[in-house]
Amino acid sequence: MFEKLTALPPDPILSLMGLFRQDTRSNKVDLGVGVYKDEQGNTPIMAAVHAAETRLLTEETTKTYIGMAGSALFNERIAELLLGNDHPAIKDKRIVTAQTPGGCGALRMVAEFLHQCAPGSTVWVSDPTWGNHIPLLSSAGLQLKTYPYYDGVKKEIRFDAMMSALEQAAKGDIVLLHGCCHNPSGADLDKDQWHAVTELMLRKGLLPFIDIAYQGLGDGLDEDAYGVRYVAAHVPEMVVAGSCSKNFGLYRERVGYLVVLSASAEQAVNAGSQVMTTIRAHYSMPPSHGAAIVETILSSVDLKKQWLDELNVMNQRINGLRRELNLALQQQGVDQDFSFIERQKGMFSFLGINKKQILRLREEFAIYMVDSSRVNVAGLASGNIEYVASSIAAVIR
């Protein structure tokens, strides 16, 4: 059976990680892998996470299964974090929340659920979007179409083109939106644009599907959730996939969640039964440890404050690095305008340089980024920004 198999091409980001590890140059800089890093280039464990784990070690009394939906308290706390404590969707019991193995698990379970609701449904995804959206959704049986999103020349959202494309969507189609900190462009919808998109989806009978993986790393926890909360307050149905990898630093613990919003509490019960059946058929129930850490933090006044303080430091550092990089590039005297870096949100931005220049950066200067020129701003540090800026200037002159 296996002798007929052929090797598939490696994942470009994972391949880049391997090349970076093999590079022995002391001045190497990794701007490819999408994880938060501190000034020393490490992805640290947050102090609040350490404290929560310590509590778990002394207070946890069992390792039995936690059920298909995961921990009920985790789901309650995460819904409040996402939507706010007093959101009408929560008060009206119109939502179902389930813990999942990471954001990828959430995306795939939502995709499977949507395919059960309407087999072969069409999902509209932004151009560009996070690369793994495509296999996660299409392999569940959903059909994909794209809408224009980011203008690589003007370095801004192609909002008029986006709206024109979505006007072509059919009733019942699904629209995948990034809740904040768009990956890979860093270009986010503003409030007025969220309002306009919501009105269009209501008018045309489209289903909002929001992926929010970076809440708190753009403008702040509540600010970054504006789009999700606004849409949830105005539409009868929507689905959300979220992740705790970035804002809690729990990458390897694989902590994610999905939320299904229904038109009524009765429909929410029915939808919940379908979601749990879908989960049961795939991984049966999620792992506990990472979600227990999140639950412990969000249920403790002191740990939540500590976490919020740490998250704010991360947020401010990323935004500070954006300003520093733009300034450093200006000081290099380059003709290209990089001011867009400061206007964008979260960990990612496109530099807008070509593949030949990207290859030169890697081979001559030990600076690693993916071929699209998407850079992880959080991979920078005050100690290497001048070097990175001078290297970029060298390859674009």
Per residue, the 3-state secondary structure of 155-176, as one string, reads CEECHHHHHHHHCCCCCCCEEE
CA distances from 391 to 33, 94, 161, 351, 367 (A): 19, 52, 35, 13, 8
Burial classification of residue 3, based on how many CB atoms lie within 10 Å of its CB (0-12 exposed, 13-18 middle, 19 or more buried): exposed
Q: Give the SS3 label for residue 189.
A: coil
Query: 128 preceded by cis ω (within 30°)?
Result: yes
Tokens at residue 330, please? 């200006």
| CA 190/CA 298 separation, integer angstroms | 28
Is 219 exposed, middle or buried (CB count within 10 Å of its CB: 0-12, 13-18, 19+)? middle
> Which position among 30, 37, 124, 130 bears the catalytic label?
130
Q: Closest by alpha carbon to 369, among 386, 384, 357?
A: 357
Asked if 130 is an active-site residue, the reply is: yes
| Angle of the 47-59 helix axis to the 289-298 helix axis, nearest 10 | 110
278 φ, ψ (degrees, to nearest 5): -65, -45
CB atoms closer than 10 angstroms to residue 172? 13
246 labelled catalytic: yes
CA 96 to chain centre: 20
Q: Which residue has the tokens 């009206």?
A: 92
Buried b (16+ CB within 10 A) or exposed e, 277-289: ebbeeeeebbbbe
CA distance 178 to 217: 13
| Residue in 128, 120, 214, 131 with CA at minimum distance from that of residue 174 | 120
* Residue of 211, 224, 307, 345 marked active site: 211
Classify burial at 63, counting beta carbons within 10 Å of its beta carbon; exposed 0-12, middle 13-18, buried 19 or more. exposed
Q: Which of 194, 246, 307, 345 is catalytic?
A: 246
Query: Which residue numbers are catalytic?
Result: 130, 211, 246
